[in-house]
A and B are shown apart, each in its own frame.
Chain A
């Protein structure tokens, strides 16, 4: 087991409009992509962000060695419950997830 950030080149998160959050895992190589794509459990990612698995979207993109997740924002951008206006810090959390 090791943290995702130790395998991937870069983990990025951004708003995709005020209502969506999108997280991009740039794996860097085909080997890293294969390991992350198979070892990163969608259910664990949903748990991590308290997201509804039914609305969480996952894209495994071997052509870019990228795994992408999109989900409704944990709190709508700029509301009282939102702590990060641009949503970039969620990537840090995802980077700390353990990969089999």
Chain B
């Protein structure tokens, strides 16, 4: 009934071009692709910047715009520019205008923005419209005003509003991964449980098949469920690959919360139509009140400078913990005496337990270790000052006073690497809305003219 073509799990990840061409030949009703996620960390939402390079994004987006022109159906991207903040949306809109100009294409572009004003969110908190999910950090009106970016995750309703404009291309800020896929089939009356379930299975492209790297899949939604067909030549969807995808990056494998309700797949049945297509029925959509959208926010958590030193001397490798503890104590005391301000220093031992820290009780060591000094401070200048105080210790600190001064290996000059501002996610909350469009902004423009 409604065919959604998903070129890949995210713009910038790449896909098999033949698979995309096969997908276009299937005459889809819409092409939908995700533009981001929180998975790469808080820096992107904190700064409103994209993780992928402009060049790669432009190259892949130009191919999808060409596919859109060929298919003559809407192309929609959600969570544009990795984080879906307003600046990231503007960045992709700019790239889109550039491509349209270069190709001499005239297009109708709908832009949906998800960015939220700190003062408005503080008022919503005071008005009792923001409630915590578990586990939620403590928040306050001041914290909300302190965020460099807050986004609300749009659902199907907001994408439907964008599609209703008749746009050729929809560029959306932060949305749920599934909303861009579910919007059109829901609007055309397909089975809501089947739609949300198919959207979850499709959100990572061919990850729910035997050949994840082929990227492109087609999902055909109908009145009872959905059918997934991989577009990669040798890619196969099986009841196992499809049902297992509900586990992926999902804390509850039977339930998925979305704006306006949740998907329950407890009763889902997976049927192999042949050796590469799977049909799914029996999933349920449960409407919840009030209508809520999830919020994500990031704020600055200081400035960081890191240093790296390498230790190959067997005696020091053997006694590394005592060495770093002594350096930590001495350097912290010196920095407190010589410079004011708030800072923290950590020495992480690479080759011992840098990946998992104290949780790792099975770690074994090799012949060399790296020590990464991480200084986080309230200002950039202070983080550099303290990192410079760490420098002589990392270079020459002896385990005991009664030994010749040792010298360790710095791979760079200077060994200090400024990381600039660092950010942290600070919201795991939902916002109640009277109307789904209340906190989203939709605009239309003609481009390429």
Contacts and interface: CB of A to CB of B under 8 A. Distances in A.
Contact of B247 (A15, A22, A89): A22
Given A18-B42, A22-B247, A83-B354, A64 B240 contact: yes
Given A14-B248, A66-B247, A76 B137 contact: yes
Contacts of A93: 356, 359-360, 362
Interface in B295-334: 296, 301
Nearest to A86: B39
A18 B38 contact: yes
A48 interface: yes
Interface stretch (B90-98, B143-151, B228-236, B421-429): B421-429
Interface string A67-82: 0101010101111100
A33 interface: no
Interface in B357-382: 357, 359-360, 362, 374, 376
A78 B359 contact: no
Contacts of B254: 59
Nearest to B424: A79
Contacts of A57: 251-252
B253 A61 contact: yes
Question: Chain A contact residues (Cβ within 8 angstroms of B): what range?
Answer: 35 or more
B376 A80 contact: yes
Given A64-B240, A76-B425, A77-B42, A96 B362 contact: yes
A40 B247 CA distance: 19
A87 B87 CA distance: 28
Q: Which of B41, B243, B423 has the most CB of A within 10 A?
A: B41
Nearest to A49: B359
Contact of B135 (A19, A59, A80): A19
A44 B194 CA distance: 38
A76 B357 CA distance: 14
Contacts of B362: 93, 96
B38 A77 contact: yes
B444 interface: no
Query: Dominant SS at the A interface?
Result: loop
B243 A76 contact: no
A69 to B, nearest CB: 10
Contacts of A89: 355-356
Contacts of A14: 248-249
Given A22-B249, A61-B253, A66-B247, A83 B425 contact: no
A48 B133 CA distance: 25
A78 B135 contact: no
A90 B354 CA distance: 12
Interface string B16-39: 000000000000000000000011
Interface in A22-72: 22, 24, 26, 48-50, 55, 57, 59, 61, 63-64, 66, 68, 70, 72
B301 A79 contact: yes
A83 to B, nearest CB: 6
Of A16, A18, A20, A90, the most chain B CB neighbours within 10 A belong to A18
A85 B249 contact: no
B262 to A, nearest CB: 15
B348 interface: yes
B244 A17 contact: no
Contacts of A17: 38, 249, 251, 428
A78 B244 contact: no
22 contacts: A14-B248, A15-B249, A16-B249, A17-B251, A18-B425, A19-B135, A20-B251, A26-B244, A55-B135, A57-B251, A59-B252, A76-B425, A78-B41, A79-B424, A83-B348, A83-B355, A83-B356, A84-B356, A86-B39, A90-B356, A92-B355, A93-B356
Interface of A: 14-20, 22, 24, 26, 48-50, 55, 57, 59, 61, 63-64, 66, 68, 70, 72, 74, 76-80, 83-86, 89-90, 92-93, 96
Given A15-B249, A64-B240, A93-B356, 4 more contacts: A64-B247, A83-B348, A86-B40, A96-B362
